[in-house]
A and B are shown apart, each in its own frame.
Chain A
Amino acid sequence: MEATHQEFKHCDMLSVKGRVDSSTAPQFTRALEAMLDKGRYKIVVDMSELDYVSSAGFRALLAAQRTCKRYNRGEVVLSGVAPRIREALELAGFNELFKTFDDSIAAVGHF
């Protein structure tokens, strides 16, 4: 897994590439926490180059969403979610917890 962070005026974007499983989820969590530690709570997680996510990745997203939505200070949204990943997110009932956008431009524009 590779995670690249970009800071925009109204939000931050984390572009995730490769695979997130129990082995790489801690790295994903650290990348998310690095943004939260800087007080950045409006976050786009771009998944357009992500091939695979297990429930370990869902857990990392959930923790970040909880922190961001506290005091209504922000939220985590997802962009470029591949169909297979979307299906797994839906099975887990996560589609109700995260707004999703077709691409990162639309997701950044949301904030």
Chain B
Amino acid sequence: MRNEGLKEKMGFGVLFLATLVVVVPVLSIVVLILVKGWGALSWKFLFTMPLDGMRAGGIFPAIVGTFYLVLVSIAFSLPIGVMAAIYLSEYARDNALTRTINLAIINLAGVSSVVYGLFGLSLFVVFLKFGVSIVAGALTLGIMTLPVIITSTREALRAVPQSYREVSRSLGASRWQTVRHTVLPRALPGILTGAILSVGRVAGETAPILFTVAAFYLPKLPTSLSDQAMALPYHLYVITTQIPGIPEGYRYGTALVLIGLVLVMNIAASVLRSKYRKKR
């Protein structure tokens, strides 16, 4: 009996240690970035152009660039991903073609991001002649997030009880009306969750923008979608490894802004989501 109790305690102890191993790095990263980066934060850092080969001044263009990339890529991938998911889950029959498409989507999610970057370079930058530009980078990022959006949207649609569809159809609603008025409103919170996940990924990825949009040093704001732009993750890479003599606070400050930006967008989307939940 006592032996069992001891085993139980040891079991829980091991599980607790495993949890600790997960939490400690996350916490220490956040704390490290906060401690080392907080001092660098200032209005000047956030809202002015970099000076002196990025050794002074601010990171405003990188913030703006990342913001644009997130907006444009989500504006592209969210509608397409959601429409594809609706087709696959509400319309498509289970046949060889749909199964192949499903397989493709699953595999797309596993492709490494640098491969997306290469793909974006050859398709958007070179073949479609968009050049190194926001639109090329945003489309590359958008394609990268499509599997995430499609998968999460399908999960959200699947979670809507089949009986709601039956009732709606029995009341003379067409298939599309049923999707539009009964299924989608129920699935919206789940769809938004997928969109939130994608925002975080788009803002943080470096490899897909490396060849398609990111500028090493461009101390002015982009004026159109065909301009190059700086972006936070690439800027972080540049000032960490490529330029000597950058103050440490600048690096951690940039990381802090990147994390903060994603956090702000996540909170905004969560608020939107709970608003939709309450409406019902």
Q: Do A and B come from one complex?
A: no
